[in-house]
Structure 1
């Protein structure tokens, strides 16, 4: 176990916010966590698990012990009649892992290409894009209890996946399928994740951006690699590269409303972008709501709303090697946007990133 003190975190969060970790430990496997827990001082200190830093807003120096997840590894661990079971270490980059699976001939994750962050952080958020969520391809994961040091395995039901949600985002006791479950927020670190990638693959289409690509290429039956390439092109055209412009991707969740609420909004704003869900509710495009309130391109301090996509907040500062937006400026901007949207539409937008 290597313990580092006063570690700059600017390169470890995609917003490139300047801050330091008072104490940081790099986790390559469960033994590193167990060593921390056995330490007389670190063991009793609060812990903060850090993956790729792509879903975090840091508002000051981090006092809890930062456990930087760097668990490596990609491998085929088994197969069933229907799927290949593929495992990745929690420290693996998500996009690189998706590209690797395709290179091995295992399809199924291509719609989630170019999502920033690590494999270990992906289940926490139940990441998703263009009609596919992590839970659709999930098999199981291994995590370690940050109190006892015991490694345990969870299946999909035990992870309690929801829209950008999981058991890892809740503390205390939560209800899952009618049964009480102990939330794992701040209690677990994800070591490895396994995915069930279908042997009989079918493309997930239906999104306007992908259908536009199909029309441009005169292609009605795209391959998984084509979808991967198209999703990368679409995302790069709409979203800023965190290596160039600090950001945490989509900052707010797309809210869901009842059909009656949607009808009321449509009566006032007929152009509202919305999608009907299988459960009868309606998902609204948070980016459209924010744009309609006039926020696109606006700034508070050096935190701004991206000109091409109002759902993305960005750091307008000089970049990874210099001062830029503070976490306070980012959250002030976020709260101002929430107020505008609520006053106009009666909807309170929920931020996706964790605020530290």
Structure 2
């Protein structure tokens, strides 16, 4: 189905009232290829979109919004593992629930992250001590100009913190069509964050972790169906050990997480909170009152309003802590994605 000059408000969780020239939903690889070719013939920019949970429309999009709606979940197993093959258009939380309902543990810490499955490896989504890279087996990628499909192993995805090869080498002209996950039948709970630390590691079940994660997210994060937002707006910054030591001398209670690389991950929400930014408003854009890491649309905010607010938050943190936050959210302008850091600089 194709439409012209239609609003995208219902297709982005920020609820930004922008438009796209065309919106097309593709339910198969052939659909994706056909629509891509159609856009090339019309010389239209193309934006591939899943659930719209990690984008900020700065203005109207001048091209084709191509919705990846390739569905389907299949499971195979061997003695040690379950292997799940999921279409890129599958709802992520739905996939987490699907596995738990069938007794397959491993995704429970990632419950209630909004978006579609195809976006998960791009951002290497993570929460409460687990990232997609730890459960990803492969990613199926379609080269849209040639129609050639290739399978990348987890190692070939070059996963990093909120990062992957799909943000670089396979950013333009490619579409993720499916993701493979590998879940161990020898399950070990991850209980390193928040309320999860209070659970008994010897007796806890995957369902209890799932329920706890859902409760934590509901308590801290606004429902995008009610209050427009994209979840965590900024990445938790990775800083040098020396920078972390200097900060901890002044703020010994600052949350910090040493990394295998020698760097230290800081909590962006805590840094923003220390700048007394909770509830701060710029027009209809605001810092959420309960979770400083979340920027919200209070009703009629534009993408520009959100960007101005984000720039102010970023500068306040830099002035106080000499740490520059980087957005997690992708910024979309008229011709496609633009560098979010440049926009906020």
**Structures share a fold, TM > 0.5?**
yes
Q: Which whole-Å CA distance do the structure 2 matches of 1:219 and 1:29 have between them?
A: 42
Q: How much has 1:37 moved relative to structure 2?
A: 3.7
Structure 2 residue aligned with 1:174: none
CA contact (8 A) 1:36 1:42 kept: no
Structure 1 residue aligned with 2:335: none
CA contact (8 A) 1:137 1:197 kept: yes
Structure 2 residue aligned with 1:18: 17
Q: Which whole-Å CA distance do the structure 2 matches of 1:230 and 1:40 have between them?
A: 44
Q: How much has 1:24 moved relative to structure 2?
A: 1.5
Q: How much has 1:80 moved relative to structure 2?
A: 3.6
CA contact (8 A) 2:36 2:46 kept: no
Equivalent positions of 1:1-356 (< 5 A) are: 2-39=1-38, 42=41, 44-76=43-75, 78-170=76-168, 183-212=169-198, 214=199, 220-317=202-299, 324-356=300-332
Q: How much has 1:186 moved relative to structure 2?
A: 2.1
Q: How much has 1:241 moved relative to structure 2?
A: 0.7
Q: How much has 1:25 moved relative to structure 2?
A: 1.4
Q: How much has 1:188 moved relative to structure 2?
A: 1.3
Q: How much has 1:208 moved relative to structure 2?
A: 3.5
Q: TM-score, normalised by structure 2?
A: 0.93
**Aligned residue pairs, count:** 332
Could you tell which deviates more after superposition, 328-337 or 44-53? Answer: 44-53
CA contact (8 A) 1:33 1:149 kept: no
Q: Which whole-Å CA distance do the structure 2 matches of 1:346 and 1:272 have between them?
A: 15
Q: Which whole-Å CA distance do the structure 1 matches of 2:105 and 2:42 have between them?
A: 41
Q: Which whole-Å CA distance do the structure 2 matches of 1:328 and 1:121 have between them?
A: 24
Q: How much has 1:307 moved relative to structure 2?
A: 0.6
Q: Secondary structure at the match of 2:61?
A: coil
Q: Which whole-Å CA distance do the structure 1 matches of 2:286 and 2:236 have between them?
A: 19
Calculate the aligned-residue CA RMSD, in Å.
Answer: 1.5
Q: Which whole-Å CA distance do the structure 2 matches of 1:46 and 1:207 have between them?
A: 41
CA contact (8 A) 2:128 2:194 kept: no
Q: How much has 1:281 moved relative to structure 2?
A: 1.6
Q: Which whole-Å CA distance do the structure 2 matches of 1:65 and 1:40 have between them?
A: 7
Q: Which runs of 4+ in 1 moved over 4 A?
A: 40-44
Q: Which whole-Å CA distance do the structure 1 matches of 2:172 and 2:21 have between them?
A: 18
Q: Which whole-Å CA distance do the structure 1 matches of 2:125 and 2:276 have between them?
A: 28
Q: Which whole-Å CA distance do the structure 2 matches of 1:285 and 1:42 have between them?
A: 46
Change (3 A) 1:40 1:167: closer
Q: Which whole-Å CA distance do the structure 2 matches of 1:68 and 1:208 have between them?
A: 35
Structure 2 residue aligned with 1:180: none
CA contact (8 A) 1:47 1:186 kept: no
Q: How much has 1:51 moved relative to structure 2?
A: 0.6
Q: How much has 1:45 moved relative to structure 2?
A: 2.8
CA contact (8 A) 1:54 1:248 kept: yes
Q: How much has 1:302 moved relative to structure 2?
A: 0.6
CA contact (8 A) 1:75 1:88 kept: yes
Q: Secondary structure at the match of 2:118?
A: coil
CA contact (8 A) 2:39 2:45 kept: no
Q: How much has 1:350 moved relative to structure 2?
A: 0.3
Q: Which whole-Å CA distance do the structure 1 matches of 2:3 and 2:148 have between them?
A: 24
CA contact (8 A) 1:273 1:288 kept: yes
- Where structure 1 has 5 or more consecutive residues not aligned to the other structure, the ranges are 171-182, 318-323
Q: Secondary structure at the match of 1:35?
A: helix
- Where structure 2 has 5 or more consecutive residues not aligned to the other structure, the ranges are 333-345
